Amino acid sequence: MRSHRHPRTSVSNQPAPDNFDPAAALESLHTEIVDIEALAHAAGEAVTRLPRPADPEQRRNLARIYTLVTKLASEISTTVSHGDDLIAALGSHLASGKMAKP
């Protein structure tokens, strides 16, 4: 009768294969940022539909809220544009790398 298989007593020093895909991660992050951009624009629209302020203090508070929401929307739009550029650059890089391989 043959001897039974026994598991190894030690673990390999070789790292396990990893399934992390940087392109997919970047695309996923970009998609989430686009979702946040949509929320920022919706918040901006909501602020513009608020009733007129009744006194100077309310006017200042509304101006502050509007400024914050507008600045947020602007920053997020810039970030989305940068993400578009990064994704395009990554696509070009991957395409050129694949073309260089035999």
The domain ranges of the chain are 22-100
* Each residue's pLDDT expressed in tens, for the chain with a length of 102 residues: 566 566 666 666 666 566 778 888 888 999 999 999 999 999 999 999 999 999 999 999 999 999 999 999 999 999 999 989 988 888 888 888 764 444
Give the C-alpha separation, 83 to 77, whole Å.
Answer: 10
- Euclidean distance between CA atoms 80 and 72, whole angstroms: 12
Q: What pTM did the predictor assign?
A: 0.63
Question: Which distant-in-sequence residues (6+ apart) come within 8 Å of 66 by Cβ?
Answer: 44, 47, 48
